[in-house]
Structure 1
């Protein structure tokens, strides 16, 4: 792991850890923000799966705590590098309630500008978490390695095919010369 990747993961993971702890300790502070998500998403999830309906939180404070847990676990995964891609997915999931939730109304121009900045920050952090889900720590992904192996095998088989054609041509010419010599030996010297 290089230094920049390590420091970047620590900084990004640290934000999600601190944010998650805040949401777990004081969910009431975030309840108003996640309430629209509860109102919109809970009925959809209940319709989608009857079995999962019992696990869907109806209380905004409960969702804020669950969201805090996702953020905390995601941040730990990102910061430690243990399960960094899964951690990125958890962190991105935890940001959805902040991005989709209600922004507090600001009465003054300054407050509205601060709300816009906070919303853009949330979107940027969501994007960063999504990038982490694709991080392969500098190594090529499995899909790239499979495509590269397929390309190399195709190239090698094409080269082997060309080599086999050359060898066949050479052996055919050698067989013709040998057959000619045998015929000449059977017929005897010409007078």
Structure 2
């Protein structure tokens, strides 16, 4: 791991760990903003998700805020420590979307200054989302799964083509050698026939 990654990951995850811990300890101040979103999303998720998942989703907004906070703490620690960093970053990105929509709906604010402040917070969260997405796809310079799959298939095709060409060459060489051998045997047979005929006369 490079020095930049060692510094960037904890810096990026710090706000999620701190805010997540605050959400677990004191969720009530966040409930009024989260309530409109959870009232719409929870029934939808329960309808779409398999029963074993849907039955485990908390009913109350307080518990949903706490659950989101716990996920942010775990995702932030995974990203900061590097243990499961890509999954942690992807998880944080997933939690950030509803938090941003519920927490900073600047399009609903009438007051011009308040709307501007909410827009700035919304844009900051979009910047964090971009950073998390980059962290989620960061392979530390090693080829990712998609790259390996694509290039592995291409390499296999190249090797197959080379193998076919080599087999054709070897087949061609074998056929030429067999023809030479047959011609040589035919010449020897003719000479033997001539010698036998000369001896008889």
Query: So what's the TM-score if we normalise by structure 1?
Result: 0.87
Q: Tell whether 2:182 aligns with 1:179.
A: yes
Structure 2: any 5+ residue segments left out of the alignment?
none
Residue 83 of structure 2 aligns to a residue whose secondary structure is coil
Per the TM alignment, residue 184 of structure 1 is displaced from its structure 2 partner at its CA by 0.9
Q: Distance in 2 between matches of 1:81 and 1:57?
A: 30
Structure 1: any 5+ residue segments left out of the alignment?
none
Per the TM alignment, residue 139 of structure 1 is displaced from its structure 2 partner at its CA by 1.3
Task: Identify the residue that residue 113 of structure 2 maps to in structure 1.
Answer: 110
Spell out the pairing of 1:10-159 with structure 2 (5 A cutoff). 10-48=10-48, 49-101=50-102, 103=104, 108-159=111-162
Per the TM alignment, residue 63 of structure 1 is displaced from its structure 2 partner at its CA by 1.6
Residue 17 of structure 2 aligns to a residue whose secondary structure is helix
Per the TM alignment, residue 176 of structure 1 is displaced from its structure 2 partner at its CA by 1.3
CA RMSD of aligned residues (A): 2.3
Give the structure with higher Rg (CA).
2
Query: So what's the TM-score if we normalise by structure 2?
Result: 0.83
2:172 to 149, 169, 178: 169
Per the TM alignment, residue 91 of structure 1 is displaced from its structure 2 partner at its CA by 1.0
* Partners of 1:9 and 1:78 within 8 A in 2: yes
* Partners of 1:70 and 1:93 within 8 A in 2: no
Task: Identify the residue that residue 9 of structure 1 maps to in structure 2.
Answer: 9
Of 99-108 and 10-19, the range deviating more from structure 2? 99-108
Count residues in correspondence.
191
* Partners of 2:104 and 2:121 within 8 A in 1: no
